[in-house]
A and B are shown apart, each in its own frame.
Chain A
């Protein structure tokens, strides 16, 4: 209850009591209260004009990083006996040092500075504005100066460095990259043997084949490595994140998508991102750092949705024929059909699937263990069907770092080859 309200109520109550008792003495008790209000009104601020400016260390930050916020408020009106400055901090930001509220007397033309540090969760955080109220010494009457300096802070998901992904897209682009291109050229993996042509380095001559054919010489041919077109799909359908800690599972999926996008773009590939589940959010394919920032911005704003419920609604026309598809999704019953259909259309598919069962709390007891076993069996059956259809699947237990999981399941060919050399 505001002070003015309480004092007004007490004055009113005393007047009523005096009227009921027809006793002027009770009315006298209201005099100090009336004087109190009158003195406050006499010194009350007439107008408030301020200019507020907020600066942050960065308005695009990585998740978990510390952001310093500074607010400067300049009094462009008359002097304020008590000026209350409050920067409304959006939900999702944790204040780790300092305070977003400041109270001080502020002479005309003077500037007050407020500083605090926040740590942010992934997402787009909107600062509504800096609230400033100018009041008098008894704190009875205030004049608001409005909200100023609205601003947005975009916090991108954390990106993990991943090692090389062992993928074999059916179609590659012309640029040099790390994906095998199914044709001979500059590379490190053995591709075949061809006839020697003048200019071929002598160290590449396949002497054994040449010895079997005295009339001609043969050269080892390596598989050319190129970049590829990659369609990265993050599943944001709410129903597939069926876990005790839905939010944590979703954040792991976002982190995986961000890390994969970062790695693929660093390798020179052309990457596009589709957020499938709510309204279609499509980041057009591109290269390099600019594309990385676009994708991270899209992922920072990703949220679960229920508008598109079935994987059958996936707009495959967005992806060029035979481009590599990387789907990040916990998967659910019924998703297998669309994925095998896409595989049949010629899309090589890698599914990185955060395991929702790994996040279920173990309540203990026979029924709990049985339920977990059944869930794991159902999931194993779904993944096995996908593998049989030719879809690469990484069953990722989120307790394990993604890089380790990828290296263990998808990096074997690279490891084996390095071992041979």
Chain B
């Protein structure tokens, strides 16, 4: 599908694309600043693909983009990338994904009434998530946490229980 010159982008679509740009920039600068330029290049390329597919309204583009962004951010911690860049990329990617999902939700409905009101409310709620997410994340980064062996064991048990619940949920299927 070619992007026509006359196509109108809604506020949500524009902010979603801005979120993609923000996530890609944060990751690229973070990796580049840690002298991992070789990792920054594929991040920029994949980010470009994400943005292009989203403009073409491919349904799974934003989900794939968010998963890749989370993986890149998690890998960044191990590579020594500064946490601030990674946290910023995480929030930007989450916002981009959420706004694209919102647009898809509106498109699935054949008729939409009160779109402006819903869009305004959604953007305000998302802004609250972004601000709280960054603040709490930065606060958490200031607090050094040592995970002791018993705590790790407890966490592992909780995760194993969670895994069991997840498998049960997937087997039962999902009814919306």
Q: Which residues of A contact B (CB under 8 A)?
A: 1-3, 5-6, 8-10, 12-17, 19, 21-29, 31-33, 35-36, 39, 43, 81-82, 84, 98-105, 112, 114, 136-139, 142
A36 touching B106, Cβ below 8 Å = no
Among A12, A82, A84, A136, chain B packs the most CB atoms within 10 A around the CB of A82
Chain B neighbourhood of A36, CB < 8 A: 94, 98, 129, 133
Interchain CA distance A371-B11 in the complex, whole Å: 65
Q: A32-B94, A39-B128, A82-B118 are in contact. Are A21 and B87 (CB under 8 A)?
A: no
Q: A19-B159, A24-B147 are in contact. Are A102 and B141 (CB under 8 A)?
A: no
Q: What are 27 residue pairs bridging A and B, where the CB atoms are less than 8 Å apart in the complex?
A: A3-B101, A10-B67, A10-B70, A12-B166, A15-B155, A19-B152, A22-B152, A27-B145, A28-B87, A28-B141, A29-B70, A29-B86, A32-B91, A32-B129, A33-B94, A81-B118, A82-B118, A84-B109, A98-B110, A98-B111, A101-B109, A102-B109, A103-B105, A105-B117, A105-B121, A137-B125, A139-B102
Interchain CA distance A101-B106 in the complex, whole Å: 10
The B contact surface, by secondary structure, is: helix
Stretch of B24-32, B37-45, B71-79 contacting A (4+ beta carbons < 8 Å): B71-79
Chain B neighbourhood of A25, CB < 8 A: 77, 83, 86, 141
Given contacts A25-B86, A104-B113, A138-B126, 19 further A-B contacts (CB under 8 A): A3-B98, A6-B66, A21-B77, A24-B140, A26-B74, A28-B83, A29-B86, A29-B137, A31-B140, A32-B87, A32-B129, A36-B98, A84-B109, A102-B111, A102-B112, A103-B105, A138-B98, A139-B105, A142-B176
A32 touching B111, Cβ below 8 Å = no
Chain B neighbourhood of A13, CB < 8 A: 70
Chain A neighbourhood of B144, CB < 8 A: 24
Interchain CA distance A43-B66 in the complex, whole Å: 24
Number of interface residues of B (CB under 8 A): 56
- Within 149-174 of B, Cβ neighbours of A (below 8 Å) are at 152, 155-156, 159, 162-163, 166, 169, 174
Q: Which are the 7 A-B pairs with shortest beta-carbon distances? A: A99-B110, A32-B133, A103-B109, A104-B113, A25-B77, A24-B145, A101-B110
Chain B neighbourhood of A112, CB < 8 A: 113
Closest B-chain residue to A3, C-beta based?
B101
A84 to chain B, nearest CB (A): 7
B176 touching A2, Cβ below 8 Å = yes
B61 within 8 A of A: no
B91 touching A100, Cβ below 8 Å = no
Among B74, B101, B130, chain A packs the most CB atoms within 10 A around the CB of B74
Interchain CA distance A97-B173 in the complex, whole Å: 34
Interchain CA distance A6-B98 in the complex, whole Å: 11
Q: Which residues of B contact A (CB under 8 A)?
A: 63, 66-67, 70, 73-74, 77-78, 83, 86-87, 90-91, 94, 98, 101-102, 105-106, 108-114, 117-118, 121-122, 124-126, 128-130, 132-134, 136-137, 140-141, 144-145, 147, 152, 155-156, 159, 162-163, 166, 169, 174, 176
B167 to chain A, nearest CB (A): 12
B63 touching A6, Cβ below 8 Å = yes
B90 touching A29, Cβ below 8 Å = yes
Q: A22-B147, A36-B129 are in contact. Are A105 and B159 (CB under 8 A)?
A: no
Interchain CA distance A31-B66 in the complex, whole Å: 15
B21 to chain A, nearest CB (A): 18
B89 to chain A, nearest CB (A): 9
B95 to chain A, nearest CB (A): 9
Interchain CA distance A31-B136 in the complex, whole Å: 7
Interchain CA distance A104-B114 in the complex, whole Å: 6
A28 touching B140, Cβ below 8 Å = yes
Chain A neighbourhood of B90, CB < 8 A: 29, 32
Chain B neighbourhood of A10, CB < 8 A: 66-67, 70
Closest A-chain residue to B126, C-beta based?
A138
Contact of B137 among A5, A32, A43, A139 (CB under 8 A): A32
Contact of A139 among B101, B110, B166 (CB under 8 A): B101
Contact of A81 among B83, B94, B121, B147 (CB under 8 A): B121
B137 touching A101, Cβ below 8 Å = no
B118 touching A137, Cβ below 8 Å = yes
Chain B neighbourhood of A100, CB < 8 A: 110
Chain A neighbourhood of B106, CB < 8 A: 103
Interchain CA distance A21-B102 in the complex, whole Å: 34
Interchain CA distance A16-B133 in the complex, whole Å: 20
Interchain CA distance A100-B109 in the complex, whole Å: 9
A353 to chain B, nearest CB (A): 45
B60 to chain A, nearest CB (A): 9
Interchain CA distance A200-B90 in the complex, whole Å: 107
Chain A neighbourhood of B174, CB < 8 A: 1-2, 5
Interchain CA distance A398-B159 in the complex, whole Å: 69
Chain B neighbourhood of A114, CB < 8 A: 111
A52 to chain B, nearest CB (A): 16
Q: A98-B111, A104-B113 are in contact. Are A39 and B83 (CB under 8 A)?
A: no
Interchain CA distance A202-B33 in the complex, whole Å: 122
A15 touching B159, Cβ below 8 Å = yes
A26 touching B77, Cβ below 8 Å = yes
Chain B neighbourhood of A39, CB < 8 A: 125, 128-129, 132
Q: A84-B109, A137-B118 are in contact. Are A28 and B137 (CB under 8 A)?
A: yes
